[in-house]
Structure 1
């Protein structure tokens, strides 16, 4: 895909990310990290940085927020927002499945687990970044499954299609594959953490799984 394509996609993504209704969902995801002033929090696949203000509020002036994304245009869009930049905020262009960070207090992955070819390996790398006692949280869209929600489930499938532009799969098959990858990421997070929590938002269309990285796995 060309840079021009991703520039347009970043602009659309940023407009969607700023929908007011999403603020409470973002706050819920950040709350699951149990951040304290002075902590370092990393968002894997940060997109245009919409979660950064919530993260920065929790870690305070003495903390640090790192937004990591592989798409240059997304990071460029993030840096255009004053509330998503400033002291204590850094953006890194890097592969979220092989993050160049270690010893952080928390990792957030929002709406990205379903796009990785090997989501379990990605979650492993995130848990390896976090200090014992730190938290990892995954926020993802999901189908509700309720009969009355069928029209919105179709909208979910359309969203999934947009999340991977250029795919040749059908919308339905891609949504199924997306959900399988999200499930794999959640299973691995469950295996790697303790003090696990599961919450839903938006009438069941968003699922949040979080856990604490123990001193030793198992």
Structure 2
């Protein structure tokens, strides 16, 4: 894979790690307890079209909320690898998945994953990750190359809703994006964070559709969460 470090956002990695590390506990509660989210995570895992014995990688696994669902799909003979770059977040993921012998949580960059010890990746999942990357489509290209022919790549990301009831939903979504974008002390931006996020997610999901045969193309949670899955050919 090519070196993608230049595609990360301009925010220094240390600052981003401090930001997400500081909010790890709150993020963990939201990731596991928000109504409808567990069902969404189960659907995301199913979209990977895994079989028992497969190897699946989650880029940006966060506190590990998806990992048990992936473990369930591949069975004890399979392998689940969760990658994230934030220490406090990973510690929670390790604690949460300690009982799963087939789950491995490692620290690393989602755009340059430390996968030398694993080969033959069957599926790759990235949830709420591509919005953090400077060049999301190129990252999707590398993920597609990683799984290769017959592999599956699944993206799930939050963007503005297109449903008829979208205005109030999108107002809440915009506020959440602004509050979750470091530094949170800024109230005004030259380029609105939620619009930048929309563009990145549109581009990433479009690239995946261009590179693969669709196995999932859905929206969830009031139309805010976009789920795209593709099998490489």
TM norm structure 2: 0.84
Partner Cα separation in structure 2 for residue 108 and residue 76 of structure 1: 20
Q: 1:50 aligns with which of 65, 76, 85?
A: 65
Deviating 4+ runs (over 2 angstroms): 1-8, 83-86, 100-103, 145-149, 161-164, 167-172
| Cα pair distance change 1:86/1:147, threshold 3 Å | closer
Aligned to 2:194: 175
Q: 2:41 aligns with which of 26, 30, 41?
A: 26
Aligned to 2:156: 139
Deviates further, 134-143 or 100-109: 100-109
Partner Cα separation in structure 2 for residue 186 and residue 5 of structure 1: 26
Q: 2:86 aligns with which of 71, 89, 102?
A: 71
Partner Cα separation in structure 1 for residue 154 and residue 42 of structure 2: 12
Residues 19-57 of structure 1 show CA distances to partners (whole Å, capped at 9, x for unaligned) of: 242011111111111100000111000000000010000
2:229 aligned with 1:210, yes or no? yes
Aligned to 2:100: 86
Q: Which consecutive unaligned segments of at least 5 residues does structure 2 have?
A: 1-14
Deviation for aligned residue 1:162:
3.5
The secondary structure found in structure 2 opposite 1:24 is: helix
Deviation for aligned residue 1:185:
0.6
The secondary structure found in structure 2 opposite 1:99 is: coil
Deviates further, 45-54 or 13-22: 13-22
Partner Cα separation in structure 1 for residue 137 and residue 18 of structure 2: 31
Deviation for aligned residue 1:5:
4.7
TM norm structure 1: 0.89
The secondary structure found in structure 1 opposite 2:216 is: strand
Q: 1:11 aligns with which of 10, 17, 25?
A: 25
| Cα pair distance change 1:195/1:38, threshold 3 Å | same
- What do you get for the CA RMSD once the two structures are aligned? 2.1
The secondary structure found in structure 1 opposite 2:57 is: strand
Q: 1:185 aligns with which of 176, 186, 204?
A: 204
Aligned to 1:126: 143
Residues 63-119 of structure 1 show CA distances to partners (whole Å, capped at 9, x for unaligned) of: 0100001111110111122x4653111111111012233520000010111110010
Partner Cα separation in structure 2 for residue 11 and residue 79 of structure 1: 14
Partner Cα separation in structure 2 for residue 138 and residue 147 of structure 1: 24
| Cα pair distance change 1:34/1:5, threshold 3 Å | closer
Residues 106-154 of structure 1 show CA distances to partners (whole Å, capped at 9, x for unaligned) of: 0001011111001011111111110421110000112113453322211
Q: Which consecutive unaligned segments of at least 5 residues does structure 1 have?
A: none
